[in-house]
Chain A
């Protein structure tokens, strides 16, 4: 038998099971900001699908909608086609760099105030507090055995949670179809199965993430805390415990004694209110850490304590590492440096990408054309020896009106052309009518007499001229000959 040697302390269990966090309610500046942002963000999320935007009779009148069936994305006055998803790439780049910039200026603003995980968890905490009571009551309730009243409270909480989660899923699917119609269809069980399925999936994720996993998502699942740890620097504002002022910690009584004895005493009274209110259950006094989502609630909690004690607030507050360290060494803290190489770089990237997207959006064409040369046959010899090439033109009309488009050619003299199914106009230009908001494939035959039809190939230019809006689209392709 081997001896069961004592295991050194630092070699403790590798697995720590999650400890349930019971955040206490708190009032104050940051709590108010958080309530306002919560109402604003959720208001947008739940009600935006019902906002209408008139686009004429042919198109849906929902302000924001992803229309998979017709393959369009609508955002107020913007309508994007599938080939324009690169805007999404632009948005993603912008989103990333804006996050970087926020981080360089004031830490995890996103995590603390705006992230859906934070916002919904905050809402679920509010429900929990309303039904089960504040921190102490909840701890007590959980330690009790099951009783009718406990079952009632728990059932009520989970019911409300599930309702919120269900509404969250319901709002999600409304972004993919006409909202009022879909609501009616959902209620009468006429909606497509996929709608119910997605509501189910999002109900489950909301309920599990915001109700049960909470800070676990931030601590174990989310990559952003890791990334932001690499992005922050000592000039960035972060929720900080100002240890230079708080240490050494002492209760009010101890502090008085210490001071009387001529010894230093910090402002932190070790009341642990900052820990009690923290939604991730950490101790900010251990320094900036991965578990801190920088929600600012510990600032409110500590300010409250300091206020009651008649000490200046801001023992915990937004501060930079540089300033704290400078004060700890009793030197004057440097001024806040918002303009630094990294903030300039981020701002420049944001301006560049945003500007490029705006420019592209403002100048984008509403008439588009692409061409595919017929491969079988590459060319056809006609009776009189002239050569004909066939092309397929794909003409896109991005307006909500039907548009007649004339097809003309830039090619050697004597070249004639013809479009299958087109009406001819007096000046010999074939006209095709493109239905509103769609693309049309038409076949174009170009015939070149001898000797203009020189092999093996020459460049020709095909032009589509919109007769109602005066827009043009041109494409180039080869004309092949033997």
Chain B
């Protein structure tokens, strides 16, 4: 097949560019034969040679069930493992002081405090935020760790014990135990009695009560059923995890409905014991971190 626009001629030299032509001409326009720059070609050849070295040194060729491992047995997975190990070692070195120091000593030393807070923050983000929220802000039924209301105590050793043994975590022998009974469901209080006691409790916390509520009757019911745990003045009891009923903080909400629900069905939130999952240094760091979120006592 011939193209009428195409003519062939002997390859010759083009003075303008200093290159030879291919010998093809289209509509009288001759085609230059510009070779690849030599530096480019050589770089290309060198990369080919280089790749052979690569095959030899690094894992390269797939085999039926494995692959060539390379002369030095390099694997990036192993390299990462080495780095992770080195990092852990460095962390342990930094935290070496935390191992033997008491919680109070850690709080008092700026250096140890810095390490503990950093480590506690990381561990909190990994283990605790699921329930207690980013920054320990909590959620209904999950205590806010930044305030000064502590059901089981907010001193360093109380927080540590809570983290170690958990709350109502029956697998742990030392777990914190305490129970808000289901007064309504178990038939201990009738519906109107529950409302009376709730109104009385609301008056303790200076929350609004139902119109014409019989506070005196509520107090009698409170003294008989609630005071043993929550105290006569409603200040709570950390031994059994009975919250203060006179303050502004309500774990399950401060609405009348939520409180009726609490008295009717009872409450028994659970927190896992972390002693079996985290090492003691991490628990110390977590303790110091939670303590410094704002509410520590």
Q: Which of B140-194 contact A (CB under 8 A)?
A: 144, 146-149
Q: Do the beta carbons of A2 and B294 come within 8 Å of each other?
A: no
A11 touches B16 (CB 8 A): yes
The B-contacting residues of A in range 223-240, CB under 8 angstroms, are none
User: Once the chains are docked, how many angstroms separate the CA of A443 from the CA of B113?
Assistant: 12
A366-402 residues with Cβ-Cβ distance < 8 A to B are 374-377, 380-385, 388, 390
Is B110 an interface residue when CB atoms closer than 8 A count as contact?
yes
Interface residues of B in 225-284 (CB under 8 A from A): 244, 247-249
Contact B28 A1 (CB under 8 A): no
* Minimal beta-carbon separation of A439 from chain B (angstroms): 12
Binds A, one of B61-69, B77-85, B129-137: B129-137
| A-side interface mostly | loop
Q: With A374-B135, A376-B137, A383-B147 as known contacts, state yes or no: A7 contacts B248, CB within 8 Å.
A: no
B residues near A420, Cβ cutoff 8 Å: 113, 117, 292
B30 near A15 with CB under 8 A, answer no
The answer to whether B12 and A390 touch across the interface, beta carbons within 8 angstroms, is: no
A147 CB-CB contact with B under 8 Å = no
Q: Which B-chain residue is minimally distant from A420 (CB atoms)? A: B292
Q: Is B244 a contact of A15 with CB atoms below 8 Å?
A: no
By beta carbon, the residue of chain A nearest B23 is A1
Chain A residues near B144 (CB, 8 Å)? 377, 380
Q: CB distance B292 to A383 under 8 Å? A: no
Contact among A15, A384, A433, A445 for B294, CB-based, below 8 A: A445
Asked if B209 is at the interface (CB within 8 A of a chain A CB), the reply is: no
Determine how close the nearest CB of chain B comes to the CB of A344; give it in whole angstroms.
49
Is A1 a contact of B147 with CB atoms below 8 Å?
A: no
Quote the shortest CB–CB distance from B122 to chain A (angstroms): 15
- B18 interface hit (Cβ, 8 Å): yes
Identity of the chain B residue whose Cβ is nearest the Cβ of A433 in the assembled complex: B110
Q: In whole angstroms, what is the CA distance A375 to B247 when docked? A: 24
User: Across the interface, do A382 and B134 meet the contact criterion of CB distance under 8 Å?
Assistant: no
Bound together, the chains give a CA A377 to CA B147 distance in angstroms of 10
Docked Cα-Cα span, A384 to B235, in Å, equals 12
Contacts of A383 on B, CB cut-off 8 Å? Answer: 147-149, 244, 247-249
Q: Does A331 have its Cβ within 8 Å of any Cβ on chain B? A: no
**Complex Cα gap A382–B147 (Å):** 5
A390 touching B18, Cβ below 8 Å: no
Smallest CB separation, B22 vs chain A (Å):
13
Q: A374 to B18: give the CA distance in the assembly, Å.
A: 70
A380 touching B294, Cβ below 8 Å: yes
Specify the chain A residue showing the minimal Cβ separation from B9.
A1
Chain B residues with CB under 8 A of A414: none
Chain A CB count within 10 A is highest, among B133, B144, B293, for B293
Contacts of A12 in B (CB 8 A): 15-16
Q: B219: CB under 8 A from chain A? A: no
In the complex formed, the residue of B with least CB distance to A422 is: B110
Q: Is A145 an interface residue (CB 8 A)?
A: no
Taking a contact as CB atoms closer than 8 A, the residue among B9, B107, B248 that contacts A381 in the complex is B248
**Which listed residue, A2, A385, A421, A433, touches B107 by the CB 8 Å rule?**
A421
Inside 8 A of B16's CB, which chain A residues have their CB?
7, 11-14
Q: A380-B294, A421-B107 are in contact. List 5 more A-B contacts (CB 8 A).
A: A13-B17, A14-B16, A376-B134, A376-B137, A443-B292
Complex A-B: 26 CB contacts under 8 Å: A1-B10, A2-B28, A7-B15, A13-B15, A13-B16, A13-B17, A15-B18, A374-B135, A376-B135, A377-B144, A380-B146, A380-B147, A382-B149, A383-B147, A383-B244, A383-B247, A388-B294, A390-B293, A420-B113, A420-B292, A421-B110, A421-B113, A421-B292, A433-B110, A443-B292, A445-B294
Chain A interface (Cβ < 8 Å from any Cβ of B): 1-2, 4, 7, 11-15, 374-377, 380-385, 388, 390, 420-421, 433, 443, 445
